[in-house]
Amino acid sequence: MHKEHLSSSVEETRELARQFACSLGPGDIVCLNGDLGAGKTEFMRGIAQVFNCEEQLSSPTFSLFNIYEGSFSGQPIELHHFDLYRIDSPSELDAIGFYDYLRGPFVSVVEWGDKFPEAFPPDTGNVFIESAGENQRRIVIDTQP
């Protein structure tokens, strides 16, 4: 699936993320890609809302990785949130145990995943966010069928 959207506000970006998150389930991996300030964290906030763990959300930039305990449709779910901005090499991914936390019975969302495309399985979803004007963002969602 390839869908393009134009967002004119933070709330529109979060709403698009909420709609997208409803299609996610345990074992899914999504990479959020875009420049600094593009809106990746706001998109993540929308995803966290769907899994009822928005209150726990914090930027993992300094910790690299956060695990949130949430629920979806009355079932408990773990949401793994990575930020690879400060990672410089694939060997660093190994050193932090990235692969151990990536695949499993939880949803994994990775900011800056495009730095290491070889690290992800072919069924990884991708969300690309870019500026499309002063207050607008172009959001492209690519997922496997």
Which tens digits make up the pLDDT trace of 34-93? Answer: 999 899 989 999 999 999 997 767 655 557 888 899 999 899 999 999 999 999 999 999
30 with 124: CB under 8 angstroms?
Answer: yes
Rounded mean pLDDT, 1-17: 94
Rounded CA-CA distance 34/91 in Å is: 23
pLDDT value of position 56: 66
Rounded CA-CA distance 140/87 in Å is: 24
Q: Is the pLDDT at 145 greater than 90, yes or no?
A: no
Q: In the β-sheet with 107-111, what is the strand arrangement from edge to edge? A: 2-7, 137-142, 125-131, 29-33, 107-111, 75-83, 65-72
- Crossing angle of the two packed helices 10-21 and 40-50, in degrees rounded to 10: 50
> HSE (CB half, 13 Å, CA atoms) of 30?
25
Answer whether 0.95 is exceeded by the pTM.
Answer: no
Question: What separation, in Å, do the N-terminal and C-terminal C-alpha atoms of the chain show?
Answer: 6
* Six token digits for residue 91: 């060997």
pLDDT value of position 58: 63
pLDDT value of position 47: 96
pLDDT value of position 7: 96
- How buried is 139 (Cβ within 10 angstroms: 0-12 exposed, 13-18 middle, 19+ buried)? buried
Q: What is the pLDDT of residues 79-134, one digit of tens each?
A: 999 999 999 999 999 998 899 888 889 999 999 999 999 999 999 999 999 999 88
pLDDT value of position 1: 79
